[in-house]
A and B are shown apart, each in its own frame.
Chain A
Amino acid sequence: MMSPSRPPLECPACGTPMNRHAEKLVEPTGEDDASHVDQVLGGVIEEIYCCPACGTNADRRWKPDPAGS
């Protein structure tokens, strides 16, 4: 099954579409994280991005697909 498409993340510094180069499994640290926990992986997936134009780094947490894909 295809993963749900993620909306592109734009560089906060220059507006260029950023490259998603990593996903890091992290421990949930707050109440807001509860809805982000991937039950299969056992943690919260933090997506790590980098801008190909200026090198700016960014990240965001992704809510898991309820279907488990």
Chain B
Amino acid sequence: MADTRPLNIPVILGTTRKGRMSAHAARFVVGQLAREAGVITELIDIADLPQPVDDAGEAIKDAGFSEKMNRADAIVIVSPEYNRSFPGLLKHTLDTCLKEYIHKAVGIVGVSSGPFGATRVIEQFLPVLRELGLVTIFWDVNFGHVSKVFDEVGELRDHAFVKRTDKFLKELIWMAETLRHGRESIALRS
């Protein structure tokens, strides 16, 4: 019997910086995901989460964020490139959970003001996501020269990103469905 439960795929906006252009990319991806049948999504802005610095790891877990990761079948992470890496607060946020991520799909959307679309971020991010138990997909979206891709209010100027994002999301959804089946039905061998 076909599974009628929708896939839950939130989008994490991984920067708190003032004037962040990644917000435009994140909202665009949320909009594209919302068009997909059988998918529910929401934007999770790490700027809205508490960022305590008096402890480390899962001890500072935010209950709301944890629950959202627990319910997720896959996640999209939108990350800018700051000095050739991802924002520290994004890593700080992700590190507050672990078991919530296991055997769930993740796709990365890179954003940069320069030409490379945060490809360097994505390459660095893969081992981190692997250790968290997430399953990476082989499509990315790279928003290079982001100020040319979106206008000042976030309207898409470069419509090539519709097709690029569609390919990325189709792969992510396939992986999300497959991994949900595995989590629920395929037992780890003893």
* A residues with CB within 8 A of B: 2-3, 6, 19-24, 26, 29, 46, 48, 50-52, 55, 57, 59
Contacts and interface: CB of A to CB of B under 8 A. Distances in A.
Given A29-B58, A29-B59, A57-B70, A20 B99 contact: no
B5 interface: yes
A53 to B, nearest CB: 8
Interface stretch (B9-17, B23-31, B87-95, B178-186): B178-186
Chain B contact-residue range equals: 20 to 34
Given A21-B102, A57-B183, 20 more contacts: A19-B185, A19-B187, A20-B188, A21-B182, A21-B183, A21-B184, A21-B187, A22-B133, A22-B188, A24-B98, A24-B133, A29-B59, A48-B102, A48-B103, A50-B183, A51-B184, A52-B185, A57-B99, A57-B100, A59-B99
Q: Which 6 A-B pairs have the closest CB atoms?
A: A50-B183, A52-B184, A59-B99, A48-B102, A3-B190, A21-B183
A29 to B, nearest CB: 7
Chain A CB within 10 A, most for which of B57, B58, B98, B184: B184
5 contacts: A19-B187, A21-B188, A24-B102, A24-B133, A29-B57
Nearest to B8: A55
A19 B133 CA distance: 17
Contacts of A46: 98-99
